[in-house]
Amino acid sequence: MIKFEDVQKVYPNGTVALKDINLEIQQGEFVAIIGLSGAGKSTLIRCINRMHDINSGTLLVNDVNVSQLKGKEIREFRKNIGMIFQSFNLVTRSTVLKNVLVSSVPDMPLWRRTLGIFPHEDKIRALEALDNVGILDKAYTRVDQLSGGQQQRVALARTLARKPGIILADEPVASLDPVTAKSVMEDLRRINREMNVSILLNIHHVELALEYCDRVIGIRQGEIVYDGPTDVVDQSILDEIYGKNQPVEA
């Protein structure tokens, strides 16, 4: 479970990104976080894995107080949390398989990291992850020969190879065409349901959020203004999140 209790985040320049956030997310939920650019969506999910530190309040992940973690504790804590980015964050001149195997590097002894020798079980796990997202046939293809959608699947496979309990997705379909975006969202929903992985998705495409996610959290100027099931979201709720007369990206 993820639990925010009166959490605030203020950046060094004085920008208040999160204001008194109170929020609970249960294991296995598929949650979309929506709102205008700069509303605090990315900040919210990046606090969960300590990419950003909070200034006050309490943030618990599976009963662990995230703010109290130090050094090696943070690295151990992050093993259970996968992260997917809009930009994929792949080594494009390397093969798909090697990019997925990167997820094993933190657990490897120095000599293996230095020589790039991965244990057999890590390779099997990486290949299984690629099969799970439908690109096993691309395992030995260079990443720069893949489409954008295929590259995002490589990033997803890299995360799945760690067998996380939580996946944080920061605008994972923003750079994809509509058809490919839907396909990636279908992968995320399937993984959420089949593996009981909690997924928090920061997304601009409201229609995709409403179609694929079970719950929507609407943020405006660092505050939660809506938190509820997707099937009751109507125009009045979107106006509350985005403001009237603001364009809502479909």
Q: Tell me: the pLDDT tens digits for 69-94?
A: 998 899 889 989 999 988 888 888 99
The pLDDT value given to residue 111: 47
- Encode pLDDT of 29-59 as tens digits: 999 999 999 999 999 999 999 999 999 999 9
- Cα–Cα distance between 138 and 165 in angstroms, integer? 26
Report helix, strand or coil for 32: strand
CB 130, CB 100: distance < 8 Å: yes
Selection from 201, 121, 134, 120 nearest residue 163 by Cα: 121
Report the chain's mean pLDDT, rounded to a whole number. 90
The pLDDT value given to residue 195: 92
Q: How confident is the model at residue 246 (pLDDT cuts 50, 70, 90)?
A: low
H or E stretch covering 144: none
Q: Which domains does the chain have, with CATH numbers?
A: 1-80+164-175+195-250 (3.40.50.300), 88-162 (no CATH)
- Cα–Cα distance between 81 and 72 in angstroms, integer? 15
SS (H, E, C) 68-133: HCCCHHHHHHHCCEEEEECCCCCCCCCEHHHHHHHHHHHHCCHHHHHHCCCCHHHHHHHHHHHHHC
